[in-house]
Every structure is written in structure tokens, then in C-alpha cells.
């Protein structure tokens, strides 16, 4: 894993659309495809300006083009969210291009599967850094402004693997169980500042990320199912917050 990503940045501006999130700025990590891209597109349709990041420059460019078609103000940046210097630049450049952050969706994730005793130290570091450390780093960079404004919403995309164990998923489950604890503590630390922290725990979602080839894709959750829950969380009444949402397919795949 490289220590620092090259700063490939793209920003576009167009008339601000209307909607329940009009005037807000959202950052979605790991948004070049799959769940992250679906969430970014949903936020744009709700009127938010959207910043996206990823490590695949070509996929990120394609995601940016899709967002631009929605009429949203868009900022995109190749970034490694496991590195603090890269994260700090991501947040700084997002706010410079679009304005103060209102919404952070920590979606970046990776899965390496197999028995723990067969995985390397490098595998452990990659999974824990991407799935857990990145949430700490990006949230820490975004929070000073949210705290000063006494407003904001952080949504962490976890998994039912953060609630259950299963064979071959030791590293992944460890990262998601850790994210469960981190999210809960953040929610308690930040609620007095008017900042809501929510956790979404989907079951298997039909994306390139899914590790199970034996499940019927037609019965899996879809990325839009997750983005629908993000919309629900962001449009609830200001006097409350939903701390956790567990999602399962209607029919067992």
C-alpha cells in the first residue's frame, strides 16, 4: 500500500439543485463504485454538493461524470483514506471547493477472507486500516468544523459481520466489530454538539465486493437499498437520531 496518493483532483460547479439537502456538502469515501457511488448519487439527487474519493482514478472519473449529470456541484479526489496526510488534504480541498462539510459517509472498505491463521500481517493491516482506521482518520479531520458549527451527520457503513461471526471472516469481522464500538462511542461523544453518528449494517449486497459466489444475486440487497437508508437517516427530524440500522434481504439468498 503506498504511503501517499498523488493529488489528482477534479472539481465542477453548476447551479445548486433544490431538495431537502440543498446547501449542504457531503463527503463519501470509497465512492467510485458500488454502495459508495449509489450513496453519492442519492445525496446529489437530494440537493447536496458531493465530494467523492477513491484509489482507482479511472473509476473515480466515471463516478464524477455520473454525478455531474445530476446537476450537483462535485469534487473528486484520488486519496488513500488510511493515511492521515492524504485524509487531511481530502477534507481541506473538499471544503475549499464546496464549502463546510455537513455530512460524512465513511464507506471505504475491503474484505480479505480465509482463516485468520492463514492470513498475513499485511492482510490484517490492510483490512483493519481500511475498514476501521480510515473511519477514525476521516472523522477526526471532518469533526473540528462540525463541532464549531454544532451540526453535522456522520454515517458509518458497517456490516452484519459486525454483529455475527462466520468461518473465514476473522479479519473482516474484527474490523466491523471494532467499527461497531467506535461508532457507538462517537455518537455519545458528539451528540451534545448537535452531531449525529449513525451506523448501517447491511447483509450481503450485490456488488463486486461480495465474497460469496454461492448466493443468488437476485436475492441480495442492492446498493440502492443502502442509499435509501442513508436518505432516511439524513431526512429525519432534527430532534432525534437513529443510532443503528440492520438490513437483511427479504428472502434468504
pLDDT in tens, 157-199: 999 999 999 999 999 999 999 999 999 999 999 999 999 999 9
23-27, 29-33, 94-98, 218-222 — which is least confidently predicted? Answer: 218-222
Residue whose C-alpha cell is 442513508? 230
Does 212 have pLDDT greater than 70?
Answer: no
How many domains does the structure of the chain reveal?
1
Residue 4 domain-assigned (yes or no): no
Task: With respect to residue 67, please indicate whether it lies within any of the assigned structural domains.
Answer: yes
pLDDT reading at 243 higher than 70 = yes
β pairing state of 244-247 and 195-202? parallel
Q: Do the domain assignments include residue 3?
A: no
Sheet architecture: strand order including 103-106: 9-12, 74-78, 49-54, 25-28, 103-106, 152-157, 195-202, 244-247
Tell me what pLDDT residue 206 has: 83
Q: How much is the pLDDT for 9? A: 57
Grade residue 253 by pLDDT with cuts at 50, 70 and 90.
confident
* Segments of 55-122 assigned E as strands: 74-78, 103-106
Mean pLDDT, the chain, whole residue set: 91
pLDDT at 34 (0 to 100) = 94
Q: Which domain holds residue 167?
A: 9-247
Average pLDDT over residues 203-227: 79
Closest C-alpha among 217, 111, 224 to residue 174: 111
pLDDT score, position 211:
53
- CATH number of the domain encompassing residue 50: 3.40.50.720
Q: What is the pLDDT of residue 26?
A: 98
**Does residue 1 belong to any structural domain of this protein?**
no
Residue 18's pLDDT band (boundaries 50, 70, 90)?
Answer: confident
Q: Is residue 218 part of a domain?
A: yes
Size of the chain in residues: 253
243 class by beta-carbon count within 10 Å (0-12 exposed, 13-18 middle, 19+ buried): middle
Question: 17 falls in which pLDDT band (50, 70, 90)?
Answer: low
Question: Each residue of 108-163: pLDDT tens digit?
Answer: 999 999 999 999 999 999 999 999 999 999 999 999 999 999 999 999 999 999 99
Catalytic site residues? 172
In a domain, 116, yes or no: yes
Q: Has residue 94 got a pLDDT over 80? A: yes
The answer to whether residues 7 and 78 touch, using CB atoms and an 8 Å cutoff, is yes
Residue 16, pLDDT above cutoff 90 = no
Amino acid at each position: 500500500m503506498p504511503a501517499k496518493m498523488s493529488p489528482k483532483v477534479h472539481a465542477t460547479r453548476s447551479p445548486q439543485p433544490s431538495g431537502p439537502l440543498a446547501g449542504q456538502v457531503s463527503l463519501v469515501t470509497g465512492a467510485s463504485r458500488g454502495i459508495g457511488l449509489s450513496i453519492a448519487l442519492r445525496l446529489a439527487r437530494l440537493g447536496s454538493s458531493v465530494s467523492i474519493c477513491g484509489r482507482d482514478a479511472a473509476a473515480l472519473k466515471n463516478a464524477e461524470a455520473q454525478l455531474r449529470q445530476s446537476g450537483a456541484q462535485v469534487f473528486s479526489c484520488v486519496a488513500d483514506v488510511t493515511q492521515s496526510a492524504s485524509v487531511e488534504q481530502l477534507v481541506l480541498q473538499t471544503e475549499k471547493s464546496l464549502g463546510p462539510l455537513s455530512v460524512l459517509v465513511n464507506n471505504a472498505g475491503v474484505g480479505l477472507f480465509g482463516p485468520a491463521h492463514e492470513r498475513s500481517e499485511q492482510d490484517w493491516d490492510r483490512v483493519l486500516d481500511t475498514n476501521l482506521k480510515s473511519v477514525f482518520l476521516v472523522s477526526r479531520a471532518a469533526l473540528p468544523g462540525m463541532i464549531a458549527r454544532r451540526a453535522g451527520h456522520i454515517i458509518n457503513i458497517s456490516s452484519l459481520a459486525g454483529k455475527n461471526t462466520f468461518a473465514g471472516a476473522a479479519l473482516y469481522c474484527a474490523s466491523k466489530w471494532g467499527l461497531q464500538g467506535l461508532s457507538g462511542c462517537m455518537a455519545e461523544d458528539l451528540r451534545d454538539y448537535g452531531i449525529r453518528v449513525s451506523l448501517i449494517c447491511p447483509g450481503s449486497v450485490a456488488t463486486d465486493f461480495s465474497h460469496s459466489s454461492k448466493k443468488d444475486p437476485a436475492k441480495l440487497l442492492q446498493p440502492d437499498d443502502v442509499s435509501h437508508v442513508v436518505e432516511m437517516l439524513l431526512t429525519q427530524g432534527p430532534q432525534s437520531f437513529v443510532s443503528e440500522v440492520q438490513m437483511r434481504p427479504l428472502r434468504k439468498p
